[in-house]
Structure 1
């Protein structure tokens, strides 16, 4: 099929995409306290079945998900001071980073300084561990390789009440992501605008309005062994338009939004952290095209977005920088002063 041959041509380029971790529950680390529990239950029957405190401010949580049909692990970063209820920021990974951690943690904690950076922020930070090649969406069919993917249901219906109950959330939620997770986050937001108060998207193809851009997205699924037709159907299927952030961006009007993308050239200021394989520039060039398309539709819809058209490639050094630069926007979304 077309996507198999197309995928072969881009397989090496997706090797530098950000980490996405598989769905097997994380094992307890040496010296951590394991606290299996059934303390929280969502209305649909999802429940927390285990919590391991890696540190006093970092937890690994296992959730029994009826939608996914298996246990799903998430990392949760907690603030040092936890005297009052607080908002929650969900951050999604890229295409396949679980390979680098044996699916034990999110790429965010493995590749960036997020643990230290968020330590003084008055928010829960939730980092799903899993979803390789899934785009964090509900697939229309079970995939022979990538399995059952009902990530939208898990992230929007099952997980939030559990996080709020177990970790004293106040019901205010924002979402963000990088690369695959950037498209996933923005798509979840336009489909669930009442759930999220703001979005941050780094190096994501936020415009899925053309066959060319849909092919690029489908090809990344194929490089991880999945059949993209099982996600949103053939490229002319209406589900592609239904999940396209650019098409539906008007529903986010008035919310704090942050979009960052590189120009495909390395930034010498980042030193080694700003270096990626040569295809990192090619990937970011495609994302830049997507971002211009998204911006054109957002502008037409009167949606105010904070953009960072920066130097950079498709790699973690830039996404770590993006997180720092996006924080003021995310803080507004989370109703925090800083």
Structure 2
């Protein structure tokens, strides 16, 4: 198996090739069910592979080939299926993210190419809707000047199918938070075309955890997303001349980073939301959640300590949804996650990009661990909820999108839709 990563012009992306080779070695070690001592020894082997060009004079291509030899004749789909089908979510989740962190890999292992937000503009001193663009009748984009963040934020609105009052459903995207949002790119208009709900989707929150940050960050600027979502947006969307017809009930949900944020916001503002859903998220800021949060934030070059201070501090704990799960009692709750096992042919769907493929497996395995922990906590508290374990699929929209109607159907009754 060739684990080198090629660009469009056929050149090898040398650094990422070595990183992915080492990650795949770690995957194979855990898949083999080795002991802790054997795993530690093989971690050393993985480091040796990673450092082979410097330490042994081996080319990046040669390092990748050595890693491939360790794995044997097994294709990426099959390897991910071995890991994801173990039946033990803690086992599966330890394969890549934990190994990557232990090996000291940079979060750019999971980085994307999303543009960073604009620099703060001190001339923005008033919060208001600047303009509204209507496309296809019910779909709108609103440009909002938000003074606390000194920037213009675009939100997407998809109005309810009926003319009467409807609930508002706030949808939070993942780490890239592109415009149009992943929700719109993956068929939300069709999924909600007959639904009595107003979709409200902020964009541009790259790597922010949709949170209020303590400090301005050189990369992400000023982040006051929680305040924007919970305070500014409800007021702006209710303005009479442009406002949504609202029945007074709200839901919040998201995917990946947005799933974590949806549950965190819900426990911090329990009076505002009657329904909550999370697809492939992580709901703790402790232990494994710290690793995922750091990788999310630092994947775009930001400093995670600018967000909530040092990991483990009171502010981190205040955003931990699992430890505050009692505040979710009485709400309609939905969770889903995959195992990180690839569907047949999924590697081909990634165009043979081993880097993105490994990242997709790693992130979904990790999300699976976190989601099981939230499910267990809700069970321990005897809080009604639904959790769907998806048997195959990596951390991408082809896994998230089919769960959207299921999540909505589970919470819609609580919202009066």
User: Shorter-chain TM-score: which interval?
Assistant: 0.7 to 0.9
CA contact (8 A) 2:329 2:383 kept: yes
Residue 272 of structure 1: how far off its partner (Å) = 7.7
Map of 1:138 onto structure 2: 212
Does 119-128 or 274-283 show the bigger shift? 274-283
Of 255, 260, 274 in structure 2, the residue corresponding to residue 197 of structure 1 is: 274
Q: TM-score, normalised by structure 1?
A: 0.83
Among candidates 128, 153, 160, match of residue 227 of structure 2: 153
Residue in 1 that maps onto 2:200: 126
2:190 is aligned to 116
Larger Rg: 2
From the superposition, tell whether residues 108 and 86 of structure 1 become closer, same or farther in structure 2 (CA, over 3 Å): same
State which drifts further: 63-72 or 174-183: 63-72
Q: How does 1:302-313 map to 2 (within 5 A)?
A: 302-311=382-391, 312-313=393-394
Query: Following TM superposition, where does structure 1 have runs of at least 4 consecutive aligned residues deviating by more than 6 angstroms?
Result: 3-7, 269-276
1:20 shift after superposition: 9.8
Verify: 1:62 aligned to 2:159, yes or no.
no
Question: What is the CA-CA distance between 1:268 and the residue it aligns to?
Answer: 4.6
Deviates most, 265-274 or 71-80: 265-274
Give distance in 1, aligned partners of 2:342 and 2:286. Answer: 28
Work out whether residues 20 and 93 of structure 1, in 8 Å CA contact, stay in contact via their aligned partners in 2: no
Deviations 1:247-268 (A, max 9, x none): 1111010100000100111245
Tell me which residue corresponds to 1:41.
none
Secondary structure in 1 matching 2:274: strand
Aligned to 1:34: none
| Distance (whole Å) between structure 1 residues aligned to residue 390 and residue 296 of structure 2 | 24
Structure (1/2) with the larger helix percentage = 2
Aligned equivalent of 2:236:
162
Q: Deviations over 1:203-228 (max 9, x none)?
A: 10112222x32022112211101000
* Counterpart position of 1:292: 372
Residues 217 and 306 of structure 2 are in contact (CA less than 8 Å); yes or no, is this contact kept in structure 1?
Answer: yes
Distance 1:23 1:322 in 2: 32
Please name the residue that 1:11 is paired with: 108
Q: What's the TM-score, normalizing by structure 2?
A: 0.68
Number of aligned residue pairs: give it.
Answer: 305
Partner of 1:35: none
Q: Work out whether residues 49 and 62 of structure 1, in 8 Å CA contact, stay in contact via their aligned partners in 2.
A: yes
Query: 1:1-338 to 2 correspondence within 5 Å?
Result: 8-15=105-112, 22=117, 46-82=127-163, 84-98=164-178, 104-110=179-185, 112-165=186-239, 166-210=243-287, 212-268=288-344, 277-311=357-391, 312-336=393-417
> 1:322–1:272: structure 2 CA closer, same or farther, 3 Å change rule?
farther
Q: Which runs of 5+ in 1 are unaligned?
A: 25-43, 99-103
* Unaligned runs of at least 5 residues, structure 2: 1-99, 120-124
